[in-house]
Copies of this chain bind each other. A is one copy, B any other.
Amino acid sequence: RIKASGLKLRFCTNETQATREQFVRKLQGFGFDISVDEVTAPAPAACRVLRERGLRPHLLVHDDLIPEFAGIDTTNPNCVVLGDAADNFTYANLNEAFRVLIGLENPVLISLGRGRYYKETDGLKLDVGAYMKALEYACDVQAEVVGKPAKRFFESALAELGVQPQEAVMVGDDIENDVGGAQRCGMRAVQVRTGKYR
């Protein structure tokens, strides 16, 4: 209905357990008319940062997200990229990411979001933000967050739409990541009471 009205539309997701392709297929399955180039997501945002700054990441992310980093040089890493790795958040993998980070002369930690937790059918799960805090503390660094609620993330979405913040409305179920992030960017925001709202 938004599309039919002629309004420009962009899906801003913090999904980091799947590629945009998988994310879009899932939404198409729910009946949404959506394509990959309408999606703004943390992994491609991180890839832009990596390319701009010549960073070679050690990836601690979900297996299904790996294809988003195709073409990124991961040899001899000089930073750590952290996503919601789920089952890949093993003791061994966390220690490995920690060792890479603490071994760097100038430790750079890029986190694909700062969520505290989320709900799945089998219960609440720790989100990437909790693991980000663990590595921040252990290495005494501050992570750079890409994805919501980072200002830069919303600015990318606006740039892709070719509109100004005051011309856009953000709609979301997360008061901090969706509504707060968009408002700090100069956008209006609408809190919906569905999804994870409680």
Contacts of A139 in B (CB 8 A): 116
16 contacts between A and B (CB under 8 A): A86-B91, A87-B91, A89-B91, A90-B91, A95-B123, A95-B124, A95-B125, A98-B124, A102-B117, A102-B124, A116-B137, A116-B139, A116-B140, A117-B138, A126-B134, A133-B133
Name the interface residues of A147-198: CB closer than 8 Å to any CB of B.
none
Query: What 0/1 pattern do residues 105 to 143 of A give for CB contact below 8 A with B?
Result: 000000000001100000111110111011111111000
Tell me the number of copies of this protein: 2
Min C-beta distance of A198 to chain B, whole Å: 12
A50 within 8 A of B: no
A48 within 8 A of B: no
Which of B87, B98, B130, B137 is the one whose CB lies under 8 Å from A138?
B130
Min C-beta distance of A20 to chain B, whole Å: 24
User: Is B134's CB under 8 angstroms from A138's CB?
Assistant: no
A18 within 8 A of B: no
Min C-beta distance of A85 to chain B, whole Å: 8
Query: 16 additional contacts, CB 8 Å, given A89-B94, A126-B134, A130-B134?
Result: A86-B91, A87-B91, A94-B126, A95-B126, A99-B123, A99-B124, A102-B117, A102-B124, A116-B139, A117-B138, A126-B138, A129-B137, A130-B137, A133-B133, A133-B134, A133-B137
Contacts of A94 in B (CB 8 A): 89, 126
Min C-beta distance of A127 to chain B, whole Å: 7
Min C-beta distance of A180 to chain B, whole Å: 15
Contacts of A134 in B (CB 8 A): 126, 130-131, 133-134
Contacts of A116 in B (CB 8 A): 137-140
Contacts of A131 in B (CB 8 A): 134
Distance in angstroms between the alpha carbons of A130 and B133 in the assembled complex: 7
